[in-house]
Chain A
Amino acid sequence: MVLLQLALKNIMGAKLRTWLNIFVLAMSFILIVWGKAIVVGMGDQIIDAMKDVELGYGGQLWHPDYDEEDPLTINDAHGSIPDELVPGIEAGQIVPILMATGNIYPEGKVRSVLIRGISPDQQILDLPSSVLKDRKGVDYPALIGKRMARKNNLAVGDMVTVRWRDTNGVFDAREVEIVHIMNTVVYTVDVGQIWFPLETLQKMLVMPNEATIIALGKDTGIAGDLTGWTYKSLDDLLANVLELLRMKNGGGNIMYGIMFSIALLAIFDTQVLSIFRRKKEIGTLMALGLTRNKVIGLFTLEGSLHGALAFILGGILGFPFFRYFAVKGYAMPIEGDEYGFALGNVIYAKYGADLLIGTTLLLMATVVLVSYLPTRRISKMTPTNALRGR
């Protein structure tokens, strides 16, 4: 208690030097928490968006030949939808998707596309598939995303030629009508994709009752392979994205490390200077009866108090800042898909207990360590030399 009181008085006595250190440390704390919260928010947003729009919440069944990384396999990766899934499909909780490669010819140019068929009645994916339902007078209603529309200069009501090869290897082509342009943050269901009603595509490809993948709703009870279909859990489906996020997070950590190091350097510098300038005081404290370890404890405590005060100041200054970005979000300077992620234009910071506690503990532990390291000099001082200021 005596040491704490003395340490507090000492650091308050250093006035501007103390407050500058605390301010720099508090700013680092705020920026690190904010930066990490943005990354956490971004990651959660990406994953939620992918689950909502592309993956579903119960995993997927894939045709064994389907390899999302290899477009050349897609045309051969299709199989009959298992009968046991029919009730779920009819309830809209299981969504078969058929895929094939093809081309479109907007404004006379040729573009490669992935043609997808989805049931207009599906309930689990946040895609406006219902727009494909019962289009009177439209034989081939097509749904595309805003990026696809922008890139190919397509608008609702436009007709565009689609060419594909059916299961027998026969090429065919039709004029299709763009019936809707969807606005989605998930670029993988948008860029280079054109969506048709499942039955229409099954007919086009001559693949009746077939699919390439089957997205599962939350409560389908399916958690393993079915005959001719391989089960992919959400963890499997998100593995690449999580890895990518981890890499991006790692890059961010280097930045935080540099920022934090600068703040810690200020404390280290203060400690070194303090020990150098206060040798006579150290000698006096020893003469008055403090052991060397207690003097080391006092100086370590002084340095550590910077961390504690920085945490308090960071909390006070940071709270409105943190709240603003949690509620209003951070507007991305460029469109999210430039990052290769399913990002929106606004990212909402997400402050979990693990982030706050983890960052605080990291801050405190490193501040204590940085405060302690220079005090090892004290252990080499004799009281008489310290009293002489040597």
Chain B
Amino acid sequence: MENGTLVKTKGLTKSYPIGGEHFLALKGVDLEINKGDFTGLVGPSGSGKTTLLNILGVLDNPTDGEVEVLGEDVKKIKAVAAARLRSKMLGFIFQTYNLLPVYTVFENVEFPLLILNGWSAAKRKEAVMQALEWVGLTDKVKNRPAQLSGGESQRVAVARAMVKKPQLILADEPTANLDAENSLNILETMQSLNKDLGTTFLFATHDEKVIGFLKRKVTLIDGLIAADEAGAAA
């Protein structure tokens, strides 16, 4: 993998068994994501955005083709190594936030660091407070997810994804459940993190508001890349 390339796929296919048939979700995707990218996978529902994102997040296996994520061959990677890769190098942001309901905001953001081990309590606290400062939620540390608005919950999710300063953040429809104001807020936060920290973001989205923030737009249609072009924010 070339220096600066975080993700590289070649001829990536993914099929699912549906009934007695096999549904081909990805039909040979060639893609490279470079360090510092703020890229969106756009396209209509069923075009394969989430499937591609899941494979790049080492949550799913490709059926065929080559996939390298942060130097790891996703086809050959073992479950434990995949979990280690996710915990150390990757961050996830989900459409429905997926915060742990029994944890406070602080504990939710702290959780990825606890999994990593080797972080002292003082270091964890510092990192968590910094991440919450990035998303402007330092006043909500003791709140639980049920006490937060949708926008606040998604900002906690961003802080959780960012706290360990991963190389790549994968965000699946991060604004789909948010109103315009909160969407804008979240996107600005992610954009500034991309600019200030150099964190690479890859979105799956069909939200026009997100598309307006992208540096690069990769359009997927029926499991194939239909266009790979510079985004509005390039």
Is B147 an interface position by the 8 A CB rule? no
Q: Contact between A12 and B102 (Cβ–Cβ < 8 Å)?
A: yes
Tell me the minimal C-beta distance from B187 to chain A in angstroms: 21
Selected from A9, A286, A289, the residue in CB contact (under 8 A) with B102 is A9
Interface-forming stretch among A24-32, A126-134, A352-360, A381-389? A381-389
Residues of A within 8 A of B60 (CB): 382-384
Please give, as numbers and ranges, the residues of chain A lying within 8 Å of B87 by CB-CB distance: 288-290
CB of B83 closer than 8 Å to a CB of A: yes
* B96 cross-chain contacts in A, Cβ below 8 A: 280
Report which of A280, A294, A383 forms a contact with B59, defined as CB distance below 8 A: A383
**A383 surroundings in chain B (CB, below 8 A):** 54, 59-60
Shortest C-beta distance, A46 to chain B (Å), equals: 52
Q: Does B134 contact A (CB under 8 A)?
A: no
Smallest CB gap from A383: residue in B: B59
B88 with A289: CB separation less than 8 A: yes
Q: Cβ of B88: which chain A residues have Cβ within 8 Å of it?
A: 289
- Known contacts A284-B100, A383-B60, A384-B59; decide if A289 and B115 are in contact (CB<8 Å): yes
CB of B84 within 8 Å of the partner chain: yes
Asked if B112 is at the interface of the complex by the 8 Å CB criterion, the answer is: yes
Q: How far is the CB of B114 from chain A (nearest CB, A)?
A: 4
A interface footprint on B76-88 (CB within 8 Å = 1, 0 otherwise) = 0001100110111
Closest to A385 in B: B60
Residues of chain A within 8 A of B92, CB atoms compared:
284, 287-288
Pairwise interchain contact B59-A287, C-beta atoms closer than 8 A: yes
Number of chain B interface residues as a range: 20 to 34
Do A291 and B54 contact each other (CB < 8 Å), given the known contacts A2-B114, A286-B59?
no
Please name the residue on chain A nearest to B84 by beta carbon. A289
- Judged by DSSP, the binding face of A is helix
CA gap between A287 and B58 in the complex, in Å: 9
Q: A288-B87, A387-B59 are contacts. A13–B101 as well, Cβ < 8 Å?
A: yes
Alpha-carbon gap, A31 to B72, bound state (A): 56
What residues of B have a CB within 8 angstroms of the CB of A2 in the complex? Answer: 111, 114-115
Q: Is the CB of B114 within 8 A of A287?
A: no
Nearest chain-A residue to B172 (Cβ)? A387
Q: Hey, what's the 0/1 contact readout for A270-290 against B, CB within 8 Å counting as 1?
A: 000000000011011011111
Contact with A along B109-132 (1 / 0, CB 8 A): 001101110000000000000000
A278-329 residues with Cβ-Cβ distance < 8 A to B are 280-281, 283-284, 286-292, 294
Q: How far is the CB of B63 from chain A (nearest CB, A)?
A: 13
- In whole Å, how far is B40's beta carbon from the nearest beta carbon of chain A? 20
A264–chain B nearest beta-carbon distance, Å: 24
CA of A290 to CA of B100, assembled, Å: 14
A284 touches B98 (CB 8 A): yes
A10 at interface by CB-CB < 8 Å: yes
> Least Cβ distance of A373 to chain B in Å?
21
A-B contact count (CB 8 A): 67
The one of A6, A10, A284, A292 in contact with B94, judged by C-beta atoms closer than 8 angstroms, is A284
- Select which of B54, B102, B103 is within 8 A of A384 by beta carbon: B54
Contact B112 A13 (CB under 8 A): no
Give the contacting residue for A288; candidates B54, B80, B101, B115; CB below 8 A: B115
- Whether the pair A288, B86 counts as a contact (CB closer than 8 A) is yes
Q: What is the 8 Å Cβ interface bit string for chain A, positions 1-35, against chain B (1 contact, 0 not)? A: 01000100110110000000000000000000000
* Inter-chain contact A288/B59, CB cutoff 8 Å: no
Tell me if B57 counts as interface (CB < 8 A to partner A). yes
Q: In the complex, what distance in Å separates the CA atom of A286 from the CA atom of B84?
A: 10
A9 to B101, CA, bound (A): 10
Contact B94 A9 (CB under 8 A): no
Complex formed: what's the CA distance from A288 to B116 in Å? 10
What CA separation (Å) do A281 and B96 show in the bound complex? Answer: 11
**A residues in contact with B94, CB < 8 Å:** 284, 287, 387
Residue in A2, A12, A294 whose Cβ sees the most chain B Cβ within 10 Å = A2
Taken together as a complex, chains A and B put the C-alpha atoms of A288 and B161 apart, in Å, by 9
Complex contact B83–A290 (CB within 8 A): yes
Name the distance in Å between A302's Cβ and chain B's nearest Cβ. Answer: 11
A288-B102 contact given A387-B59, A387-B94, CB 8 Å threshold: no
Q: Interface readout for B152-164 with A: 1 if CB under 8 Å, 0 if not?
A: 0000000010000
Name the interface residues of B44-83: CB closer than 8 Å to any CB of A: 54, 57, 59-60, 79-80, 83
> Which has the most chain B C-beta neighbours within 10 Å: A12, A289, A383?
A289
A55: min CB distance to chain B, Å:
62
CB <8 Å contact, A292 and B79: yes
Q: Which residues of B contact A292 (CB under 8 A)?
A: 79, 83
With both chains docked as a complex, state the minimum distance between the C-beta of B180 and any C-beta of chain A, in angstroms: 26
Shortest distance between the CB of B172 and any CB in chain A (Å): 9
A295, closest chain B residue (CB):
B83
Closest approach, in angstroms, between the C-beta of B142 and any C-beta of chain A?
Answer: 14
Known pairs A280-B98, A288-B160, A289-B87 / 14 extra A-B pairs, C-beta < 8 Å: A6-B102, A13-B101, A281-B100, A281-B101, A286-B59, A287-B57, A288-B112, A291-B79, A292-B79, A292-B83, A383-B59, A383-B60, A384-B59, A387-B94
B contacts, CB < 8 Å to A? 54, 57, 59-60, 79-80, 83-84, 86-88, 92, 94, 96, 98, 100-103, 111-112, 114-116, 160
Q: A-side interface residues toward B, CB under 8 Å?
A: 2, 6, 9-10, 12-13, 280-281, 283-284, 286-292, 294, 382-384, 387
Can you list 20 residue pairs at the A/B interface with Cβ under 8 Å? A2-B115, A9-B102, A281-B98, A283-B59, A284-B94, A284-B100, A286-B59, A286-B83, A287-B59, A287-B92, A287-B94, A288-B86, A288-B92, A289-B84, A289-B87, A289-B112, A290-B83, A382-B59, A382-B60, A387-B98
Q: Which 6 A-B pairs have the closest CB atoms?
A: A289-B87, A13-B102, A284-B98, A9-B102, A383-B59, A291-B83
